[in-house]
A and B are shown apart, each in its own frame.
Chain A
Amino acid sequence: MEDKLIIGGQEITSRLFLGTGKFSPNRLIKEAVRSSGVQVVTVALRRVDLEYEEENIASFVPKDCILMPNTSGARNAGEAVRIARLARAAGLGHWVKIEVVTDNRYLLPDNFETIKATEILSAEGFVVLPYMSPDLIVAKKLLEAGAAAVMPLGAPIGSNRGFKTRELVRILIDEIPLPIIVDAGIGRPSEAAEAMEAGAAAVLVNTAIATAGDPVAMARAFGLAVEAGRAAYISGFGATQVYASASSPLTGFLSD
């Protein structure tokens, strides 16, 4: 059976998306991309620290990847739009992850400003992937606004707490005819697999990989888990029941 993920008219070869924050050293990003088979990679745009020299992150991302700048740091739609336009003008392609955050404790996204930014940037030809708090009505508005996918959080950013928003995300998967990508909070490969088994189109992972003891091996583990979870979802699960149902034949010669 053919099972393709298409976003912005482009076939995506890996259902694991990788964030590039917190890697140390940065060259591990390239190795993590290779070990996991990741194709879509996020980066952020920041003011240069004029006091000391920093590295250019793009040089650590293999050229065949799709670079997706995020708008982190934006506190409203206008700032998100400004970052997206700058990134595109700087030659970073036309994919953008909208991230509008004003809450500093849980880093939860402002869904309303996110809808506004999605509308503006979609109209300008961007492939817009909004990070959002899972809510059906908001997801419907993002669809109307032209989003290419919807990215509900699994748990707060960087928390490694897992797929806590499962039931709300399940409703999005059920109701929204766009790829639903679980972004943020996924801490373990089993949790990524859980999201994929629930029908998520992809999973975006950063902290769990970047801060692992061996980020390159962990990236591979996530890649495998995402693939396994997707294959399971496509296969269709057997029914669950309360009582046992023998999988070996019990009728036989011993009782005769």
Chain B
Amino acid sequence: MRITLNGKETGLPEGVTVAGLIALKKLNPKTVIVEYNHELVKEETWADIVIKENDKLEVLRFVGGG
């Protein structure tokens, strides 16, 4: 299936959760923020959110800035 991940159309197997996606991308869950269909979702809920066709995900992080 196709989803939009950080603005890019991306292919993803069926049934993957947000937690699964973070693991798939080898990201440390403690250092990222996930916006799922324009809503911030807390880490505790990632394992329960099954990603669907056409979902929009933003994976964000705090970086240096002035």
User: Within residues 51 to 66 of chain B, which ones have a CB less than 8 A from any CB in chain A?
Assistant: 58-66
Q: Does the CB pair A86–B60 fall under 8 Å?
A: yes
A110, chain B: closest CB distance, angstroms: 17
Tally of A interface residues using CB under 8 Å: 38
A191, chain B: closest CB distance, angstroms: 16
Chain B residues with CB under 8 A of A69 = 62
Q: Does the CB pair B60–A48 fall under 8 Å?
A: yes
Minimal Cβ-Cβ distance residue in B for A83: B60
A62 at the interface (CB under 8 A from B): no
Q: Does the CB pair A47–B31 fall under 8 Å?
A: no
- In angstroms, Cα B30 to Cα A44, docked, is 17
User: Within residues 34 to 79 of chain A, which ones have a CB less than 8 A from any CB in chain B?
Assistant: 42-48, 50, 53-59, 69-70, 72
User: Within residues 12 to 51 of chain B, which ones have a CB less than 8 A from any CB in chain A?
Assistant: 25-28, 30-33, 35, 40
Given A48-B6, A90-B33, A90-B40: A23 and B60 interface contact (C-beta under 8 Å): no
- In angstroms, Cα B60 to Cα A69, docked, is 13
Q: Does the CB pair B64–A47 fall under 8 Å?
A: no
Chain B residues with CB under 8 A of A20 = 64-66
- In angstroms, Cα B27 to Cα A44, docked, is 19
Chain A residues with CB under 8 A of B40 = 85-86, 89-90
Seen from chain B, the residues whose Cβ lies within 8 Å of a Cβ on chain A are 5-7, 25-28, 30-33, 35, 40, 58-66
